[in-house]
Amino acid sequence: MSDKSKQFKQALDEHHQWPCPYVYKFIVPAGSFDRFQALFASEKLETRQSRTGKYTSVTMTSTMCSAEDVMAVYEKAAQIPGIMSL
């Protein structure tokens, strides 16, 4: 695990009591949104398309049981080319 990952895990553990709802926010390129939906098919997604239609902003709230679970979702989302995690 990289130092950055360790710091992120530590920050998550300091600010959350597991299990708890965790809010994810992503900016997904329009051409990759179908792939994003397929990866997170079981999740409730709130979406909003950009004015130009090039991107879709996604808010996803999930109950997470640990910092590792949160990090696993970010790793899964990183499979999408061009995705931005906020």
Question: Going from the N-terminus, what domains does the chain have, and what CATH number goes with each?
Answer: 3-85 (3.30.70)
Return d(Cα 52, Cα 31) in angstroms, integer: 13
Enter the pTM of the model.
0.90
**Residue 46 forms beta bridges with which residues?**
59
- Per-residue pLDDT of 62-85, as tens digits, reads 999 999 999 999 999 999 999 999
Other Cβ atoms closer than 10 A to 5: 13
Q: Are 29 and 82 in contact (CB under 8 A)?
A: yes
Model pLDDT for residues 22-69, shown as the tens digit of each residue:
999 999 999 999 999 999 999 999 999 999 999 999 999 999 999 999
The residue assigned the tokens 């061009």 is 82
- In the structure encoding, which two tokens stand for residue 63, read together? 């109950």
Per-residue model confidence (pLDDT) at position 58: 97
